[in-house]
Amino acid sequence: MRLASCLLVAAIVMGETKDLKLETWMRDLPEQLKDMPFIYLAIPGSHDSMTYGITRSSGLAPDAEPILHRLYPLFRGTIMRWTITQSLDTWQQLLIGIRYLDLRLATKPGTEEFFFTHGLYAEEITGALRQVKDFVDTHPEEVVILDLQHFYGFTPTDHQRLMRLLINMYGPKLVPRHLDLRSVTLNSLNRLNQQVIVVYRNESVYTMTEFWQPQMLPSPWPQQDKVSGLLRFLDNIRRHPGTGFVHQAVLTPTPSFIVLRWTSNLRAKCAAPVVKEVLPVLAELAPGPPPPGRAGHAPLNVVIADFVDMADAVFPRTIINLNNKLLQNRDVVYHSYG
């Protein structure tokens, strides 16, 4: 039944979005939605966005589990199959509608450069960050969220260097911290030519007004390796009306989970079940402001997944298409948030 549901959702999405241009979907939203709070829109994102840069020559990073130091020399290929979560590079992800990138960073001995990481070192960060800059420069009405989730091997000086790099890279394109996020809309950002939101999940952020604090975009980790557990987690989410939110539609394999599926990979055993069984459930939800109190499901804002290119990018298509539900709710569309 779940597979049938997935196929039905895919058919509906492909039918309803046959004219959807993923590359410019924010630009192409109806004007009513561009005047809605940004935190009440449905936005597709990728989980562990930069793992496409992991190769067979990648070394172990500071966030590697201790056991990997013994296993990696012997089972390099297998470990890579369970570490890589995306197959498209940054530019390609942006072209298929991804507007939130989940970044994990690490320092490396012997160099002052910063690297993306997920147990193994991926690429040095400036190439991907420049792809984001090139994208927003050539797509003036699109907004991209960079969520710097984890920092491994960082000193306070490293944080200052990284923040300065981001400010130099994006400059006036950065969306500064706002006291009331409900005042931030696509139209207001477009008027100011601001297109890059940086969420910086470290205490260093409190010294910089250019970046968003972590509580402005909560991103709780489900830490589930079964679809049933992930669905229960998502069903119990509640959110504050004045903040954004990240729904993590991801399965996290435990060591025992991987051992039992040693010859397979994360795409087949974690990402595919999410597309088949979780995405149809998400498609029944909607974006918008949270209801009063704690009643009902938390409306979607940012939703992230692994291997976002699967099934002709059915994941970003589905999430983007949910914004159409806002047009059916006149109380939401015409409510004043200013």
**Cα gap 95→136, rounded to integer Å:** 11
**Pairing label, strands 43-46, 302-305:** parallel
The three-point CA angle 49-51-52 to 5° equals 100
Cβ pair 154, 12 in contact under 8 A? no
Is 47 one of the annotated active-site residues of the chain?
yes
Tell me the C-alpha to C-alpha distance, in Å, between residue 5 and each of 12, 167, 226, 275.
10, 45, 18, 10
Written as six digits, the tokens of 228 are 């049933």
Cβ pair 225, 272 in contact under 8 A? no
Cβ pair 293, 253 in contact under 8 A? no
Is 240 one of the annotated active-site residues of the chain?
no
**Cα gap 266→176, rounded to integer Å:** 36
* DSSP per residue, 96-140: TT--EEEEEEEE-TT-S-EEEESSBEEEETHHHHHHHHHHHHHST
Q: If you ran DSSP here, which 8-state letter would residue 150 be given?
A: E
* DSSP per residue, 290-325: PPSTT-SPPPBSEEEESSTTHHHHHHHHHHHHTTHH
> Which of 69, 118, 159, 297 does the annotation list as catalytic?
118
> Which of 47, 69, 297, 335 does the annotation list as catalytic?
47
Cβ pair 298, 250 in contact under 8 A? no
The three-point CA angle 78-83-84 to 5° equals 105
| Catalytic machinery residues | 47, 118
